[in-house]
A and B are shown apart, each in its own frame.
Chain A
Amino acid sequence: MQKPALASDNENMDWLSALLDGEADDDLEGIGRLARDEALKARWSEYCLIGDALRGLSQPSGRVPERVRVALSDEPTILAPVVKPRHRPALWLAAAATVAAVTWMTMHAEPTAAPPVRMAMQSGPAEVAALDVVPYLAAHQDYAQALTSSPEMHFSQVALALPEAAR
C-alpha cells in the first residue's frame, strides 16, 4: 500500500494501520516521512499502544489519557467476532415452499374419449408421479353415466386417521 506524498489525514491513518499490519513494509519513502513527521510519529505510537493494550501485552503508559485507559481496561477482550443473528426470510420461504411441494402435489389430467394419455405432473415427489388417474376414470365410467366427460383432477396428499387394524 503506497502512501501518497500529499495525503489526507484519513489516508495517513489507513497507511499507518497497513504499516502496523505489515502490509506497507516496503514503503521506504513513507517510513522516512513517518520518521520526520512528528504528528505521524505520535499517531504511530498511539496505534502501537492501543494494539498492545488490546492484546494485553503492556500497561498503557501515562501518555495515554486516563479516560482512554479506563475505557480500554473496561473493554472486554474480543476473541471472536459476534455476528448478530439475522432473520433469513428467504430460507424460511424456501423451506415452506418445500413443505408445500411435499404436502400439495398438483397434477392435472384431461382424459377424453381419445386413448389414455399419461397424466403430466406439475410438481411433487416420485410416488405421486406414478399415480395416473386416466385408466381408473375410464374404468369407472363403465359404471357411471355413458357420456360423462372426465374432468380435470387436482391431487394432494392427505393425512388419514387410520384405525391401526386397517393399516
Chain B
Amino acid sequence: MRRGLLVLACCFSIPAWAADSLTTAIAADWLKRVADAPRRLSYEGVFVFQQGDAMQTVRIANRPDGSGKDSRLTTIDGVPREVRCTGSESVSISGQGGQAKFERRLNSRHFPDLLPTNAERLLAWYNLKVGATARVAGLECRQLELIPKDHFRWGYVLCADKDTNLPLKAVMVNEHGQPLMQYAFTEVRFGDSGTLPSAKPSTGAAEVPFLAAGDALNIKQLPPGFAREVAIRRKLPQHGEIEHWVFSDGLTHISLFIEPMAKPFMPVKGESKQGMVNMLVRQVGDYQVTVLGEAPWSAVEAIAMGLEPKPR
C-alpha cells in the first residue's frame, strides 16, 4: 500500500514539474510575442485612455522602422497634442490658446507598446496567467495577466489580439485587482497605408539632459528586480539643475530626484487619489531626495530608504 502511494505521488509530481516548466516557456513566448507585436506591426487605430476621472481619446498610427518603430499619437479630444515616438525618444507637441509647446521626451513607451524588449525577464518578478478570450474593438483577444510576485509593483491585465498578438487593451491594476489606469482600442486596422508625415520642426526650446556620474548618493539596497536604468543631470523648472535617476524592473519605473537641501524638513509622502502614483520626499545627508513613480508605496519607500550619504 505504501509503495502504491509512492508511485501515485511520483505520477502526480512529474506532470506537475513538467507543466510548471512548460508554463514558464509558454509564458516567456507569450510575453515576447506580445512585446514585439507593437513594434513589428503596421497599424492604425483609435484608443481610449482612462485614469481616475480623466479620459482621453487618441488616434495612433505605427510603422516598423528597422528594429524600432515610428509612431504618432494624436489626441482627438481635450487639449490638442501630438506625440511622435521613434526608437528611443519621443517628441510631444501640444497646443492650447494658439501656442504650441514642444517637449522632447527621453523614452518612447506608449500603449500598446508597454512591455520592454526581452520581456521574458519580467517573469522573474511577475507570474503570467493566460486567461479567457474577450472581445475588444471588434476583435477576439486573449487575456494575459501579469501578476506581481511581491508588493513592489502593480500588475497588468492585457488582452492580446488572437491573430497578431497586438495588445488591444491594457489595464494597470492594484493588489486587489482594481484598475488604476487603462487603455483600450475602440478601432484598429492592420497593414501599411503609407509613411507617416514627419513631425513638426523643433522650436529648439527642448532641454537636453546629460549623463550624470550617478554617485551623489550610495544605493544601499533596491527592491527586488529593480535596477538603475538612467542617471542624468537636467534642469527642472523652479529647481535648477538636479540629478535624475530612474529605477525599473522593466515594467515599473520609479524616478529619484537629488538636489541640494534648502533646509531641514520632515519627510513628506504623496499619493494620487487612487494610490497609483506614490511619492516620498526625504533628506539624505545634505540632499533632498524625491522618489516618485507609478508604483506601490512600499516600492517608493524602499528606494528612498535604501539611499545613504556618501562617506566623506
Shortest Cβ distance from B236 into A: residue: A135
Give bound CA distance, A136 to B307, whole Å. Answer: 19
Tell whether A146 pairs with B108 under 8 Å between CB atoms, given A151-B276, A154-B271: yes
Contacts of B274 in A (CB 8 A): 151
Per-position contact with A for B245-281: 1 when CB-CB < 8 Å, else 0?
Answer: 0101000010101000011011111111110110111
Within 8 A of B (CB), among A146-167: 146-149, 151-160, 162-163, 165-167
Contacts of B290 in A (CB 8 A): 136
B130 at the interface (CB under 8 A from A): no
Question: Which of B234, B267, B273, B294 lies in contact with A144, CB distance below 8 A?
Answer: B294
Chain B residues contacting A118 (CB-CB under 8 Å) are 238
Q: Does B305 contact A (CB under 8 A)?
A: yes
Closest to A132 in B: B238
* A7 close to chain B: CB less than 8 A: no
- Complex CA gap A140/B230 in Å reads 12
A128 to B73, CA, bound (A): 36
Q: Which A residues lie within 8 Å of B267 (CB)?
A: 157-160
Query: How many whole Å from B143's CB to the nearest CB in chain A?
Result: 20
Contact B273 A143 (CB under 8 A): no
Residues of B within 8 A of A132 (CB): 238
B272 touches A146 (CB 8 A): no
**A137 to B292, Cβ gap below 8 A?**
yes
| Cβ–Cβ contact B230 & A143, under 8 A | yes
Q: How many interface contacts (CB-CB < 8 Å) are there between A and B?
A: 147
- CB-CB under 8 A from B304, the residues of chain A are 160
- Residues A149 and B277 in contact in the complex (CB < 8 Å), given A133-B270, A140-B292, A143-B106: no
Q: Are A130 and B109 in contact, CB atoms less than 8 angstroms apart?
A: no
From A72-80, A82-90, A108-116, give the one contacting chain B. A108-116
Q: Shortest Cβ distance from A138 into chain B, in angstroms?
A: 8
A120 at the interface (CB under 8 A from B): no
B186 within 8 A of A: no
User: A147-B49, A149-B56, A156-B269 given as contacts; is B101 within 8 A of A140 (CB)?
Assistant: no
Q: Which residues of chain A are within 8 angstroms of B269 by Cβ–Cβ distance?
A: 155-158
Residues on B with beta carbons closer than 8 Å to the beta carbon of A127: 263, 265-266
Report the minimum CB–CB distance from A59 to chain B (whole Å).
Answer: 69
Judge whether A9 is part of the interface by a CB distance below 8 angstroms.
no
Taking the nearest CB of chain B, how far is it from the CB of A166, in angstroms? 5
* Highest count of chain B CB atoms <10 Å: which of A105, A118, A137: A137
* Interface bits B72-101 vs A (CB < 8 Å: 1, else 0): 010000010101010000101010100001
Q: Nearest CB to that of B293 among chain A residues?
A: A140
Q: How many Å lie between the Cα of A21 and that of B172 in the bound state? A: 84
Given contacts A113-B92, A146-B107, contact A158 B272 (CB under 8 A): no
- Interface presence of A131 (CB below 8 A): yes
Are A136 and B292 in contact (CB-based, < 8 A)?
Answer: yes
In the complex, the answer to whether B56 meets A147 with C-beta atoms within 8 Å is: yes
User: CB of A141 within 8 A of chain B?
Assistant: yes
Interface string of B171-200 (1 = CB under 8 A from A): 000000000010000000000000000000
Chain A residue with the shortest CB-CB distance to B273: A152
* Min CB–CB distance B226 → chain A (angstroms): 13
A114-B96, A144-B294, A146-B92 as given contacts; A135 in contact with B239, CB under 8 Å: yes
A160 CB contacts on chain B under 8 angstroms = 267, 282, 301, 304-305
Q: Does B52 lie at the interface of the complex (its beta carbon under 8 Å from any beta carbon of A)?
A: yes
- Shortest Cβ-Cβ A-B pairs, 8 listed: A151-B272, A146-B110, A140-B255, A142-B106, A158-B269, A113-B94, A135-B236, A127-B265
